[in-house]
Structure 1
């Protein structure tokens, strides 16, 4: 097939529009920096804490509805061995955002934190904060690779454009406007991208349903089906542990992303932050519906009636490309181009957020507090920009692999679920948590996760849990070992913290053994910083002084 010139022109025009909006928003960011009385780097990171509630909802939704979400959901529904029951994204994120609004948004926003790592820095100090940055950074890089991989496959399929070139162009556009405008550019481009994703994906659905290759959504031609409606999927009892593991990973692992708290902390108040989370729960779920329908249509299509022919994509090992394949062969050309635009918009709306989140954590919690305590605001802004470029390059490099988008999407939240989530839950809701418990929980969570193995990375399991099986030389763990690692980490933090506090307070353990200095009577001697007061208490103090 020849290069799809009209489609390529349309996509390039879309990229130019996004870039122009990003540059316009960067000018707004610079104006805010000039009028800002506080830290200019915080304008870049949290937008001066005055992001409009509607913009907040749009950017929160657009961030989560990325290439991994759209293509991963479609892939899960299409694959015969999985189906709708395994499309975990929409229901898991719905529950995740509700939990975020109920239990995490208010304690984070009320104390005016700048990043997700701030509460750890105030309570545990710089060393442990740096330890937590490692899994967070790895997850962000994997997320970038996931969404760029999905875009590269889609563009190469429909536009006949080399996948590598598609990845590089998309990454470059996202990096440029993120570097220029920080959260303002990210938020305002997300509004346009969200609208485009919504319109384009829903427009593709009726054309697919009306395709001549679709005769009965209850049939899967050319593949032996074991259920009345094949794309609904089945789950054997032996796989219940895997399903629970993956569902909780997406739900709770999503609560440990800096991208979430970047939007929460940019809200004007705690109430607005909670409203943003609750609204995003509905919009993210709704945005997953077109992907589910496209996956079901692709599963029911008679591919022999299309130019693709037989065998179907699953038998050719191309299930990972099912969304672009469905767009190309089951819709008119101009509709497939719109679908490409939707994927491109989804990719950039997630990528820019991930880039900024990693750069924000490194600059605020490592560079500013440890490496260069006397750094100027101008220097911090350049560190943020440099970090954005480096994370973008790292994720782009990994995007050239052929791994499943769905697998990369799950893997990006793996370490956050097993290590960061239990730490975040404890530091926000368990007032007795201390550095000793946190380090113990970190080690326990990391160790149990690593010994469980990871097929995507080719890491064989060291510990075989009950119910494991071996398929084609690859060991498959049916036991929910990720959840075990998470719960073990959580229990370790709580139990070790409580026992040591009890031991030191009752002098069962000599104070001289407190080598980390957490229990020193003079808190100023330690590395731990004074935690900010909640906004409500600050206002009471100010009113009293006046």
Structure 2
């Protein structure tokens, strides 16, 4: 296949438009810094995002390349189908649950990041440890969505995937570094609009292609492979519910979500934005579902792709770009590529800003250099963007399955961080000892459960664990079980520690975390030096 020149030109124009929008937003952010703290402008946009921009940036954060590619892939797979597509429903539930329970306590206290209530409740050191799961999650998310773009570009433009990965990463890093949340939010508006229009343009052409059977017929009748509606086998119901709970609840404990909540001008606006984002997020899954259904209904031998099928060639993870390339006219497939590029960049910039914000504000400023100036924190944030962006870009070359990378990116967040956030916001009396115990137990249980996608065998075989094609599959809802055990452990150990110390059963000297001692912990060497320097000044 020859280089698709018109497509390449269209992509370059889109990237240039995105970069210009990001730079304009960076200039707008500079103007806002005059009356507000630099870090607040960079991290939460000065808390003045209007509801329109808030809706688009919140939705675009979750509707990324992994979302639209992964949804089409699951519909296409013979062993899955529509019945196993959790993302639209799960993310809609995330935003609704978040609006009902989490938005008000977070926004009303004017927190800057999601880690603030964790550090406030469990201390700076424990809060810094809890930073690790979302850090890994954001980096893997960044890598997975870049990988999905690389696969798409290689199919439609006949350009090496690594070229698009590198260019996309550099573009995202530049405008996010310069403008912070302002650049991310305003480029999200452009990207989501482009995504909506482009994907819906592609759908009719794919549906009406002569090589494809009517998807209403193939939904329940096997033609070229299993019906695309799919089904949930009785033995897999618990696992299906586990995956849905993982997406619905695990999607809450992310800085990318709370960054938008905290940027709203009021708690009420943040709640309305969250509700509307849930609805729009679910609607955005429809084009991908239809494209996956078309792929199932297509006789690939009637196309220039030929046989064997994408599933037999193990190219199911690229089914969306394959449909765009072989079932749509060239100019339409280019529009679809633009939609995927927009989806990738809208989520990539969010994950990059999320991780760097928490590192600069919660780790560097609160733990490493408490006297750091606003300008210093801002530069640390920018440097961490470059570093984390480079790591994520490198990992993108190692991604084998879009959906696996996407699904795995939040498992530790769900099992470990979500219960910690619930305790910090809603359960008074929880403390550092409970937090540490819950973290350790949750982490160990999750590792013992194994992971088939990474070929990690389970050391702990839950009820219903079966061997399929040489790989152990956990049918028990062990992810939700791990999260629940972690939550119970935090509460139980916190109250136990409180009882033991307050009743003087354990001596006060054993309170190494200074939770119940009346005196303050001794200053570190760095803190002593800073204090002496301040006194001299």
Question: What TM-score does the superposition give when structure 2 sets the normalisation length?
Answer: 0.95
String of CA shifts for 1:496-522, please: whole Å, max 9, x gaps: 112222333333443333221111235
Q: Distance in 2 between matches of 1:402 and 1:232?
A: 27
Counterpart in the other structure of 1:295: 292
- Tell me, yes or no, if structure 1 residue 42 matches structure 2 residue 40: yes
CA contact (8 A) 2:7 2:157 kept: yes
Q: Distance in 1 between matches of 2:33 and 2:178?
A: 13
- Tell me, yes or no, if structure 1 residue 340 matches structure 2 residue 367: no
Counterpart in the other structure of 2:87: 89
Match 2:509 to one of 498, 505, 512: 512
Cα separation, partners in 2 of 1:526 and 1:205, compared to 1, 3 Å: farther
Counterpart in the other structure of 2:6: 6
Counterpart in the other structure of 2:71: 73
Instruction: Answer with 45-54 or 367-376: which moved more.
Output: 367-376
Q: Distance in 2 between matches of 1:302 and 1:402?
A: 29
Match 2:371 to one of 374, 377, 382: 374
Q: Distance in 1 between matches of 2:350 and 2:429?
A: 33
Counterpart in the other structure of 1:315: 312
Map residues 284-433 of structure 1 onto 2, 5 A cutoff: 284-433=281-430
- Tell me, yes or no, if structure 1 residue 181 matches structure 2 residue 182: no
Map residues 244-255 of structure 1 onto 2, 5 A cutoff: 244-255=241-252
Counterpart in the other structure of 1:17: 17
SS in structure 2 of the partner of residue 232 of structure 1: coil
CA contact (8 A) 1:221 1:302 kept: no
Counterpart in the other structure of 1:465: 462
Counterpart in the other structure of 2:189: 191
CA contact (8 A) 1:117 1:365 kept: yes
CA contact (8 A) 1:517 1:526 kept: no
Could you list the runs of 5+ residues in structure 1 that have no partner in the other structure?
A: 528-546
Match 2:261 to one of 255, 260, 264: 264
Match 1:122 to one of 104, 120, 123: 120
CA contact (8 A) 2:399 2:405 kept: no
Counterpart in the other structure of 2:150: 152
Match 1:231 to one of 225, 228, 232: 228
Q: Give 1:390 shift.
A: 1.1
Aligned residues: 520
CA contact (8 A) 1:246 1:410 kept: no
Could you list the runs of 5+ residues in structure 2 that have no partner in the other structure?
A: 524-537
Q: Distance in 1 between matches of 2:321 and 2:173?
A: 25
CA contact (8 A) 2:224 2:297 kept: no
- Tell me, yes or no, if structure 1 residue 243 matches structure 2 residue 240: yes
Q: Give 1:299 shift.
A: 0.9
Q: Distance in 1 between matches of 2:360 and 2:158?
A: 40
Q: Give 1:414 shift.
A: 0.7
Displaced runs of 4 or more, over 6 A: none
Q: Distance in 2 between matches of 1:425 and 1:151?
A: 35
Q: Distance in 2 between matches of 1:215 and 1:248?
A: 34
Map residues 271-286 of structure 1 onto 2, 5 A cutoff: 271-286=268-283
Match 1:477 to one of 452, 460, 474: 474
SS in structure 1 of the partner of residue 9 of structure 2: helix
- Tell me, yes or no, if structure 1 residue 112 matches structure 2 residue 106: no
CA contact (8 A) 2:203 2:291 kept: yes
Q: Distance in 2 between matches of 1:31 and 1:501?
A: 49
Q: Distance in 2 between matches of 1:262 and 1:167?
A: 25
Q: Distance in 2 between matches of 1:221 and 1:396?
A: 40
CA contact (8 A) 1:221 1:301 kept: no
String of CA shifts for 1:41-63, please: whole Å, max 9, x gaps: 11100001111111001000011
Match 1:100 to one of 70, 76, 98: 98
CA contact (8 A) 1:63 1:349 kept: yes
Counterpart in the other structure of 1:441: 438
Cα separation, partners in 2 of 1:191 and 1:436, compared to 1, 3 Å: same
Q: Distance in 2 between matches of 1:425 and 1:372?
A: 28
CA contact (8 A) 1:77 1:84 kept: yes
Counterpart in the other structure of 1:205: 203
Q: Distance in 1 between matches of 2:89 and 2:396?
A: 27
CA contact (8 A) 2:143 2:399 kept: no
SS in structure 2 of the partner of residue 256 of structure 1: coil
Q: Give 1:272 shift.
A: 1.1
Cα separation, partners in 2 of 1:172 and 1:504, compared to 1, 3 Å: same
Q: Distance in 2 between matches of 1:472 and 1:264?
A: 44
Q: Distance in 1 between matches of 2:370 and 2:513?
A: 21
CA contact (8 A) 1:73 1:89 kept: yes
Q: Distance in 2 between matches of 1:106 and 1:129?
A: 21
Question: What TM-score does the superposition give when structure 1 sets the normalisation length?
Answer: 0.93
Match 1:138 to one of 128, 136, 139: 136
Q: Distance in 1 between matches of 2:477 and 2:386?
A: 36
SS in structure 1 of the partner of residue 467 of structure 2: strand
String of CA shifts for 1:265-287, please: whole Å, max 9, x gaps: 10111111111111101010111
String of CA shifts for 1:440-460, please: whole Å, max 9, x gaps: 110111000001112233322
SS in structure 1 of the partner of residue 159 of structure 2: coil
CA contact (8 A) 2:224 2:298 kept: no
